[in-house]
Structure 1
C-alpha cells in the first residue's frame, strides 16, 4: 500500500461521520446523534449537553402523533380516525424515536456550532430524558480531530532508491518471456537422464503408516497421490532433492521406488510433515527448447515491428514499473518516519472505520479465492479485528499527517484531476461517467477520491523533498 493510499475512511472535519462499518461518509451531512457506538479515545472526545424547551417537545409529539393517526390501520377504526390515546399507547416506542429524530439534529448542530466543535465521529447520545410536556435533555459524545503539529517535517530524510533498470533485470525478463513460449521436444538418442533434462513420469504415492493411531487413520482415509505424464526438471531448483537423486541416471521404461519426507512447512498441506512412498515410471526424456529472439517471435507476442521494438517497449515497461514500485516503497518509508517522529492522539472511530475497510478487502479476497459465505461466518471476527488494529492505527496516523502537510504546503486538487480519475473508474467499472459521478457524489465517494488524490500529490512532494 502506498503512502498516499493509506486510509479509505477519511476524516471530514466539517461533518459528523455516521456509525457504519463501510464507506462512512455516506451521510456526512447529517450530524445526527446515535444512541450507541464504538469506544472513543478520551483525548479526542468532546461532550455537549443540550436542553430543548417543553413546548417544542410537545409540538413534535403532536406532529408525529397526527402522522401516525393518518397511517395507522387498526381493526375497528376507520383510516385516520384512531384515537390519539390509542396511538400513543400502541406506538409509544416509535413515537419517542420519531420525536427524537425530529428534534435532536437541529439542536445538536446549534450546540456544536456554538461550542466551535467539529465532530468526525457519529455522536453518541447519553442521559436522554424525553417526556411529553417536559424539556428534552440529553448529552452527545463524539470525537474531534486532534491538534497536530507537523513542524520540522522537512528534517525527515530517507535514502533515495536507484530506480534505473539494469541489463540483468531486462535479460531475466526476456528469459521468462522465452520460457513461457518454450516447447518440450523428445530426446531421440538412447541415454540416461542428466541435469537440465525434463523427465516425463507417471507416479503413485502412498502415505506411510504412522505410529500415532489418529494419524494412521487420517492417512488411510486419503486418496493415493497420483500423476500421469508429469514433467519434472532434473536438477531443477524447484525439484525435490529426492526426485533429483532418483531420476538422475535413469532411462525411459525404468521403474523407481523411493521415499520423500516432506517438511512440516511444505506448501501442499496434505503432504506437509508426511513421508510418502513413491512408485515412479520414467516415460520419456525431453528437452525444453526456447524460441530465438527474432522479429517473427516478437510479432507472435503482439503488435511489434520486430524484436528491437519489443525489447525497447519491454524495457520501458519494466523501467516504469520499477520506478513506480521503488518510489512507492520510499514514500511508505517517509510516512513511517513521520509516524515515528510525531506523537498525537488518534480518534478511535477513524481507526475502527479503517479496520472495517481492511477486513472488507480481506473478505473480498477470500471470496475471490472461493471461500464460501457460510465458512466466512465462522471466522473469529473479534480476533481478526484485534489483529488489524495496530496497522489500521498507523494508516490513520499517516493519513492525518499527510493531510496536515498538504495544508502546510497548500496542496490543492483540481476538478480536471478528479475528472481523470473518474474516467479511469468509469472504464474499469463499465459505468457511464455521469452516472458514476452522481452515485459517488451522493455516497461521499467523490470527496474520498479528491482526498486520495491530494494525499498522492503530497506523497510525491515529500519524495522530492525528503528522499536523498
Structure 2
C-alpha cells in the first residue's frame, strides 16, 4: 500500500471493451442435431426417457435379485475357504479405502470398515457360489456370440473401435473374467425372471 495516497480520493477511468452474455442454447431440433446422433428434439427426449426407464428397471431388478439371493443364502450353510475370504476382504478394503487418505480415517472408523469389509467379503463369496451353483444346475452359459455383443456394447459406450476392445481384453488376459461377469448377470436375470427361492 502507498501511504501518500491514504485517505485521498482516487479516480479511475475504465474502458469497457465488450459485454458478453452467456446464452443457454435453445432446446430445439437444431440443438438435438448438434449432439450428433439425433434428428430432432423429440428423438433426444425419447432417448433420455428410455435411459431413465432402463436405469430404474435395472435398479429394481438388482433389488429383487439381492432379496432372492439373501433368502437362498439364509437357508444354506456354506463353508467358505479362509484364503478366499481373505482375498475378497482385501479387494473390498482396497475399494473402500481408495478414495480416502490416511488422515481422513479415524481409528474407530477403520475398525468399523474392517468389520463391514469382512461381512461383505463373506456375503459376496456366498452370493457368487450360489449363483455359480444355479448357473450349473440350469445349464446357463455364455456363448461366443454373447461375448461379441458385450464387446460391441463396451466399444459403443466408450466410443472406440470394437477391435481395440477385443485386443485389450485379450492382452490383459481378462476374457474369462469378463465371461464370468456376464454369466453372473445372466444368472441374476434368470433368478429374477423365475423367482427361484429354494
TM-score scaled by length of structure 2: 0.66
Aligned to 2:57: 323
Confirm whether residue 311 of structure 1 aligns to residue 45 of structure 2. Answer: yes
Task: Return the match for 1:418 from 124, 142, 147.
Answer: 147
Q: Distance in 1 between matches of 2:66 and 2:43?
A: 35
Aligned to 1:394: 123
**Distance change in 2, residues 1:330/1:301 (3 Å):** same
Q: Distance in 2 between matches of 1:408 and 1:290?
A: 56
Aligned to 1:364: 98
8 Å Cα contact 2:131/2:188 also seen in 1? yes
Q: How does 1:136-215 map to 2 (within 5 A)?
A: none
8 Å Cα contact 1:354/1:392 also seen in 2? yes
Task: Return the match for 2:74 from 340, 343, 362.
Answer: 340
Task: Return the match for 2:181 from 416, 435, 452.
Answer: 452
Q: Distance in 2 between matches of 1:447 and 1:404?
A: 18
Which structure has the larger Rg over C-alpha atoms? 1
Aligned to 1:349: 83
CA deviation after TM superposition for structure 1 residue 435, in Å:
5.1
**Distance change in 2, residues 1:434/1:321 (3 Å):** same
**Distance change in 2, residues 1:424/1:353 (3 Å):** farther
The total of aligned residue pairs comes to 167
Q: Secondary structure at the match of 1:365?
A: coil
* Unmatched segments (≥5 aa) in structure 2: 1-22
Q: How does 1:192-341 map to 2 (within 5 A)?
A: 294-296=28-30, 298-299=32-33, 303-341=37-75
8 Å Cα contact 1:423/1:433 also seen in 2? no
Q: Distance in 2 between matches of 1:314 and 1:328?
A: 21
8 Å Cα contact 2:169/2:175 also seen in 1? no
Aligned to 1:143: none
Of Structure 1 and Structure 2, which has the larger fraction of its residues in strand? 1
Q: Distance in 2 between matches of 1:350 and 1:364?
A: 21
**Distance change in 2, residues 1:355/1:331 (3 Å):** same
Confirm whether residue 436 of structure 1 aligns to residue 177 of structure 2. Answer: no
Of Structure 1 and Structure 2, which has the larger fraction of its residues in helix? 2
Q: Deviations along 1:209-252, whole A, 9 cap, x unmatched? A: xxxxxxxxxxxxxxxxxxxxxxxxxxxxxxxxxxxxxxxxxxxx
**Distance change in 2, residues 1:406/1:312 (3 Å):** same
**Distance change in 2, residues 1:294/1:463 (3 Å):** same
**Distance change in 2, residues 1:291/1:424 (3 Å):** closer
CA deviation after TM superposition for structure 1 residue 461, in Å:
0.8
CA deviation after TM superposition for structure 1 residue 446, in Å:
3.1
Q: Distance in 1 between matches of 2:106 and 2:178?
A: 31
Q: Deviations along 1:176-197, whole A, 9 cap, x unmatched? A: xxxxxxxxxxxxxxxxxxxxxx
Aligned to 1:168: none
